[in-house]
Structure 1
Amino acid sequence: MVTRVAFRVDASLEIGSGHVMRCLTLADALQAQGAECHFICREHSGHLSKLIETRGFAVHRLPLERNGPETGAEVSSEPELAHARWLGTTWARDAAACRAILAELAPAWLVVDHYALDYRWETAVLTGLPGAAPRLLVIDDLADRRHVADLLLDQNLGRQAEDYRDLVPESCRVLAGPHYALLRPEFRKWREASLSRRARQPRLQRLLINLGGVDKDNVTGQVLEALSVCDLPGDLEITVVMGAAAPWRESVTTQTKEMPWFTEVVINVNDMARRMAEADLAIGAAGSTSWERCCLGLPTLMVVLADNQREIAHALVENDASLTLDLSELQATLATQLAVLSKPCALIAMSQQAAVLVDGDGRDRVIMALGSMSQEELR
């Protein structure tokens, strides 16, 4: 198996925490097999370097550039990437800084999970390293830019390898769809109990709200306000999960005290699988957490918080695995969708449809792909 792996990934108030969290899921599995994992992260506002370190991984921090990415930007005939601003600098500067770190680490694999990086950064980083260049795994959701990857993972529903045909080398292996969803092993562990409970107890008693680790626009507060005037069971219990970096955390905590039902706020939970398994309904973002909810068959009302979540939301609705909420008409759509799910048969049907999509073994499949390609290189 590979012995050293480097991850280039960021979190911030704008980016959110999902990219780092799924990379940590992969790093945990690699570490369990004896790999030494290193993270390269820029110190954006809301970065998660301390969290990564508490999980047992080294973090090589890239300082935040106070002058912004425009100063000294490289000249390019190609259009700027849609998410270029997420990098906080130019791709060339980022590549130079990362290449110096990688020259010291000499990893067997480089994992890149960043919408602001493409083949130009990848080529610049991998060219000129002493010794053999690492193999490259790209984790993506957008299929909107070129890569020079050896392996590419896009875990989103409806995604097909064909979507990357003109974006990666012919030799690149593409892992597409939620069959490869990067979930922590506790979701697979709780799957059977979660599905069994839903089949025999389809009623709304526990509501779980999780709109990302950051929720910079306080959508959580909007949801709570809309919920407060809905007709819901008197014994309802609401749990709001937030990240420590969430800027509206104190405001939401104050707001929960005015709710008609018992409502609690929990921060940086380490038992999300259990909480999802015990919940009857979730209100959540249409991001990578969608696959955790599907694995546990948790019926969900989704909120699209970013453009890159629209495809996920559309695919889940098309598969009858979730319903969406319109933020522009939140009160009306929330009441409508709750009415749809008020019938026990509706909760059961949605749970079953969601569970079919994700079995919880995706991380192991990705690890097997990494291992098999590493063995091929040794032969």
Structure 2
Amino acid sequence: MKDKIAFLVAIGNRIGTGHYRRMWNVNKYFRSKGVQTLFFAVSEVNSTQLEHEVMQLDELGQLKDHLIENKVEKIIIDIPALYYYDPIFTTIRSLGVQITWINDSAEARIQAGEKLISCSLNFDSQQSDDYVFYGLKYVILNPLISELASTQRMIQPKIKKVLVSFGGTDPNGITLRLLNLLDGMKGIWDNNLEIDVILGSSNIDLSSLHTDKFPYKMYVHQYIQDMAGKLLSSDLAFISGGMTMYEACSLGTPSIIINQNSEQNDEAASFHNRGAVYNLGSYNQLNAVSLHDAITHIQGQTIREQMSKEAKSLIDGKGIERIFQIV
């Protein structure tokens, strides 16, 4: 592939970092194959949180001059639907730049010659063609996680280590809400239980938890590099129905899902119906009763073994390779 390719993502406190994270992984793979790439982000967050090669845009209109100056032939776009009607896309088409859309909800309004890739389970049964590609086989994973996706997963008799991670920004404060509920559930787990809490850029204030009196051992991490290791070493994960859910499933980590938005909830519900995760629904539905029921349900080793096996069967970790062939 000799074309010069640009990537365009959106990132922000409300949007989160999922679009950026997965496209950066695709970008690294393309570069490893000798492809010249440029990476653009419409961003609300501090530039120190992004790789230094990322060119930040205050608004999409700034993209035109970059595409012309760098003679870009193709662009891969992974942004929320709220941006789809921006005039920049008419401009991109007028420049003759070929567009590939990455959209889990298959909402992008593609025109002749453009491509759409949707990795949602909700579209797994739909027929792909030369321009539209559906299904979980296009799920984009961190390369480190992809390498481990074929590893056999051993499920322990008891839950001894739990992971809590709700994305790079956690816009709805699920982390603190969950931990406060767990604080009131003394006795549901052994007192020796360890909880790893992963924070992103949200800088959640955990002081209200009185961690010195928290009933379980809690370790707080920020900006960790080895998410694969954390998922593999955890007996259970509390996460949202985005990128991390796909990663946890590929590694066979039993997971309870609490979602940031309706799109995540729709996807997590489909995984729940397949027995791959336990979906608790939207963040604003989270309560002590439903949480207690979910934890009680997932305590048994057999349940977690079945969940792990089904989850691993859904995602093989080769999505980036397939996207490379499509583009």
TM-score w.r.t. length of structure 1: 0.78
Aligned to 1:153: 117
Match of 2:182 among 227, 244, 248: 227
Aligned match of 1:211: 166
Tell me the secondary structure at the aligned position of residue 149 of structure 2.
Answer: helix
The whole-number CA distance in structure 2 between the counterparts of 1:156 and 1:5 is 24
SS of the counterpart of 2:238? strand
CA pair 341-232 structure 1, distance change in 2 beyond 3 A:
same
Q: Take 1:311 and 1:329, find their aligned partners in 2: how far apart are those partners?
A: 16
| In structure 1, distance between residues paired with 2:32 and 2:270 | 33
Q: 1:333-358, CA deviations, whole angstroms, 9 ceiling, x for partnerless residues?
A: 11101111111101101101111100
| 128 and 3 in structure 1: CA distance in 2 versus 1, 3 angstrom threshold | closer
Contact 1:294/1:358 (<8 A) preserved: yes
Relative distance call for 1:344 and 1:187 in structure 2 (3 A) is same
Q: CA deviation at 1:9?
A: 0.8
Structure 1 position 260, deviation (Å): 1.1
- Output the CA distance in 2 between the equivalents of 1:202 and 1:151: 46
- Would the aligned equivalents of 1:184 and 1:363 in 2 still touch at CA under 8 Å? no
CA 1:329–1:21: 2 relative to 1, 3 Å: closer
What are structure 2's unaligned runs of at least 5 residues?
Answer: none
> Per-residue deviation at 1:177?
1.4
Q: 1: CA distance between counterparts of 2:208 and 2:68?
A: 46
Q: Deviations over 1:275-320 (max 9, x none)?
A: 1011110000011221101100111100111121122111011101
Greater displacement, 218-227 / 150-159: 150-159
- Report whether the alignment pairs 1:114 with 2:79: yes
**Does structure 2 retain, via aligned residues, the 8 Å contact 1:150–1:172?**
no
Q: Deviations over 1:142-172 (max 9, x none)?
A: 23341236221111112158599xxxxxx85
Task: Give the aligned partner of residue 86 of structure 1.
Answer: none
Residue 314 of structure 2 is aligned to residue 348 of structure 1: no
- Matched AA of 2:259: V
Query: What are structure 1's unaligned runs of at least 5 residues?
Result: 64-88, 165-170, 371-379
Q: Which amino acid in structure 1 is aligned with residue 70 of structure 2?
A: L
Quick one: percent identity of the two aligned structures? 23
Count of equivalent residues: 321
**Of the candidates 213, 238, 260, which is equivalent to residue 258 of structure 1?**
213
Corresponding residue number in structure 1 for 2:32: 32
Q: Distance in 2 between matches of 1:13 and 1:283?
A: 20
Q: Secondary structure at the match of 2:123?
A: coil
Asked whether the equivalents of residues 207 and 239 of structure 1 are also in contact (C-alpha less than 8 Å), the reply is: yes
The residue aligned with 1:179 is: 137
Task: Give the ranges of 4+ consecutive aligned residues of structure 1 lying more than 6 Å apart after TM superposition.
Answer: none
| CA distance 1:150–1:256, shift in 2 (3 Å) | farther
CA distance in 1, matches of 2:149, 2:308: 12
| 1:111 partner SS | strand
1:3-14 map, 5 Å: 3-14=3-14
**2:5 aligned counterpart, secondary structure:** strand
Of the structure 1 ranges 220-229 and 112-121, higher mean CA displacement relative to structure 2 is found in 112-121
1:275-294 alignment runs, 5 A limit: 275-294=230-249
Measured after TM superposition, the shift of residue 233 of structure 1 is 1.7
Structure 1 residues 361-370 or 144-153, which shifts more? 144-153
**Contact 2:150 2:316 (C-alpha < 8 Å) held by counterparts:** no
Q: Whose Rg is larger? A: 1
Cα distance change, pair 10–252 in 1 and its aligned pair in 2 (3 A): farther
Amino acid at match of 1:37: T
CA distance in 1: counterparts of 2:51 and 2:208, whole angstroms:
28
Q: Report the Cα distance in structure 2 between the residues aligned to 1:153 and 1:175, rounded to whole angstroms.
A: 5
Aligned residues: CA RMSD? 2.3
- Checking the alignment, whether the CA contact within 8 Å between 2:180 and 2:209 is kept in structure 1 is no
- Matched residue type, 1:12: G
Give the TM-score of the pair, scaled to structure 2. Answer: 0.90
Identify if the C-alpha distance between structure 1 residues 369 and 291 changes in structure 2 by more than 3 Å, giving closer, same or farther. Answer: same
Comparing 304-313 with 154-163, greater Cα deviation is found at 154-163
Q: Superposition pairs for residues 93-104 of structure 1, below 5 Å?
A: 94=60, 96-104=61-69
Structure-1 separation of matches of 2:4 and 2:280: 43
Partner residue, 2:100? 137
